[in-house]
Amino acid sequence: MNSGAILAVLSIGALLISQPASAFGALAVGVPAEVARSGFAYGINVNSATEAMARETALSNCRGTNPNSEVHSESSQPARALCTVVTTFRHQCAVVAQDPAAGTPGVGWAIAPTLEAARNRR
């Protein structure tokens, strides 16, 4: 391979690598006043091409209207009706946690640069 061809291949590779990925994400939650009784709903979306797409998908995931997502067992219709986007993010990870004991109101979420960092937020 001549030096011009090598330079062309390296230039194309650099262009492909330097293109930033969109990686927009959003988190939507529905938290009724009586979480212990009504549960809560949430929807997370990551790696969307635009912020608007991330918001729309997270909201439909939370409301249970996205046929490609599962409705979480802790979500009730009253909770799903309250779904709203609480944050958007880019190139970060999102986690949702709940107290596993039945009838407890513990629920929270975190956004951080890495999954491990998000899991460790308090």
- Break the chain into its structural domains and give their ranges: 22-120
What's the residue count for the chain? 122
pLDDT band at 105 (very low <50, low <70, confident <90, very high): low
Return the SS3 of 55.
helix
Q: How confident is the prediction for the chain on average, in pLDDT?
A: 77
CA distance 98 to 74: 9
**Quick one: pLDDT at residue 74?**
58
Do 61 and 69 contact (CB within 8 A), yes or no? Answer: yes
pLDDT tens, residue by residue, 50-80: 999 999 999 999 998 876 665 555 578 889 9
**Quick one: pLDDT at residue 21?**
55
**Quick one: pLDDT at residue 18?**
33
Beta bridge partners of 95: 110
Residue type, 34: E
**Quick one: pLDDT at residue 64?**
86
